[in-house]
A = this chain, B = another copy of it.
């Protein structure tokens, strides 16, 4: 039985593929890196979908892919109904609230710019803090500088982007790493195949 795997374009996907290759799921077609987005290895009975990181949970939730690799940031934002089965331990970073250096919070409604609108809404609801969320798709660190927001919610890896823009972390939030997610229905029907992949990945880490 074929296993269908959704991998995120970019560094995280490449690292995940290297791991999958080690446990027997190499795919010659994928390594030739042409412009395709679906790659099949008849030999190893695996099909790869090479998609935007934020689309991986969709492919897995809808069952097009049995398993996928996604960062916790993508998972929390997508709210996809999938199993989160394995922490790969790489792709580490964290969510944080950041603001201009020396900034002090006040009681008025804060303006928060973020790419992670679902995640941020949940966070501020949980702590019962009223905020106005402003959805941006890029360069979130620009928002407090130009007066679009008081602070931002973003993912932080080294902190270099924050520093460059004279921002500092106000609060560290959830830790992020790459996870293996699994489609709930397919997990039942292809249990043996999926468990083997998960077990072998775990063994290799």
B-binding segment of A16-24, A54-62, A183-191: A54-62
Of all chain B residues, the one with the shortest Cβ separation from A38 is: B146
Within 8 A of B (CB), among A29-78: 37-38, 49, 51-52, 54-55, 58-59, 62, 64
Which residues on the B side are within 8 Å of A146 (C-beta)?
Answer: 38, 49, 59, 64
Which residues on the B side are within 8 Å of A52 (C-beta)?
Answer: 136-139
**Residue in B51, B54, B134, B145 whose beta carbon sits within 8 Å of that of A62 in the complex:** B134
Q: A203 near B: Cβ within 8 Å?
A: no
Which residues on the B side are within 8 Å of A38 (C-beta)?
Answer: 142, 145-146
Q: A85 near B: Cβ within 8 Å?
A: no
Q: A148 near B: Cβ within 8 Å?
A: yes
Cα A64 to Cα B113 in complex, Å, equals 13
Cα A201 to Cα B145 in complex, Å, equals 29
Total interface residues on A, CB under 8 Å, equals 23
Q: Assess the A51–B139 pair: CB atoms within 8 A.
A: yes
Q: Mark A80-93, 1 if CB is under 8 A from B, else 0.
A: 00000000000000
What are 27 A-to-B residue pairs whose CB atoms are below 8 Å?
Answer: A9-B138, A37-B139, A37-B142, A38-B142, A38-B145, A38-B146, A49-B142, A49-B146, A51-B138, A51-B139, A51-B142, A52-B137, A52-B138, A52-B139, A54-B137, A55-B136, A55-B137, A55-B138, A55-B139, A58-B134, A58-B135, A58-B136, A58-B148, A59-B146, A62-B148, A64-B146, A64-B148
